[in-house]
Structure 1
């Protein structure tokens, strides 16, 4: 197993730690930041989420730079992203920090595009990530990080950066999902 795949696996292994850190009611206290209180466990989870998300860029860069792109990596990398983002979004709903309907749309889009990719793969077609798909991922990650950090540092300004970015992420999620299906509907139509 090459280094980029090991980095991707490390992202997957960080997910249970992230879930436990955010789910268990640690009595670590909280910080008052602007108009909100930030539990220290949410702060630690936010930092872990940011670190885990950054490994996505690192493994991709390393794989392309040193020509270490593998089929295992093509499978694990998007899986790791979807697991991490889905876990974070579901926990944000449980904590009352994100509306369930937004999370349902985002996760449904991920299932739909994954299904399209599986059908395409069965036909020997590889659907590469689009620029809209990458923009969707970036906006989701930044929105989730902002929500986990209770809108820090924007909470001092009483500016709802986290909420606005969540809706921007929702917009790009829907738009990129439509784009995938519009460009690749022939895969579904022409499947034997």
Structure 2
């Protein structure tokens, strides 16, 4: 495995920490979870930079990176459903999109990198999950929900664009 792929895999270490820390209503635990989440999210940028800069783009990396990204986003959201902070149906919508894209990607002979819509989806999800994890005052409820709504919308839009038949090159 390349260093870029190791960086990608390291993001998985955040998942059990987030799931454990988000089980409590302790604000300090949530601030710690936010730090862990943001650090893990930063490695998403770092592994891509390292892979491109040092010519370490691999098929394994192109497969593993989005899979780990999905776990990093969906696992905290599932914990937040358990805390009744967000409705379960919203996570089901996100999960359905991710499974549909994953199923589609498995059938492809060559795995392509994320497009602009996929990157916007990822950034919006990171912002929304960050706001949802953070123990913010009630005045932040509306911006947090709007951010989460935008993340859901971009997730659906990017999924439709991904699956939309592209004109074949002649």
Question: Residue 92 of structure 1: CA displacement?
Answer: 1.2
In structure 2, what is the Cα distance between the partners aligned to 1:107 and 1:40? Answer: 29
Question: Residue 14 of structure 1: CA displacement?
Answer: 2.1
Tell me if structure 1 keeps the 8 A contact 2:81–2:87. Answer: yes
Aligned counterpart for 1:164 among listed residues 146, 149, 161: 146
| TM-score between both structures, scaled by the size of structure 2 | 0.90
Q: 1:130 maps to what in 2?
A: 115
Q: Does 1:145 align with 2:130?
A: yes
Q: 1:97 maps to what in 2?
A: 85
Q: Does 1:81 align with 2:69?
A: yes
In structure 2, what is the Cα distance between the partners aligned to 1:76 and 1:12? Answer: 11
Which structure's residues are more often strand, by fraction?
A: 1
Report how many aligned residue pairs link the two structures.
168
| TM-score between both structures, scaled by the size of structure 1 | 0.80
Gap regions ≥5 residues in structure 1: 31-38, 187-192
In structure 1, what is the Cα distance between the partners aligned to 2:67 and 2:154? Answer: 19
In structure 1, what is the Cα distance between the partners aligned to 2:78 and 2:105? Answer: 23
In structure 2, what is the Cα distance between the partners aligned to 1:126 and 1:9? Answer: 18
SS of residue paired to 2:164: helix
Q: 1:35 maps to what in 2?
A: none
Q: 2:100 maps to what in 1?
A: 112
Question: Residue 158 of structure 1: CA displacement?
Answer: 4.9
Question: Residue 136 of structure 1: CA displacement?
Answer: 0.5
Structure 1 segments of 4 or more deviating over 6 A? none
Larger radius of gyration: 1
In structure 1, what is the Cα distance between the partners aligned to 2:166 and 2:12? Answer: 29
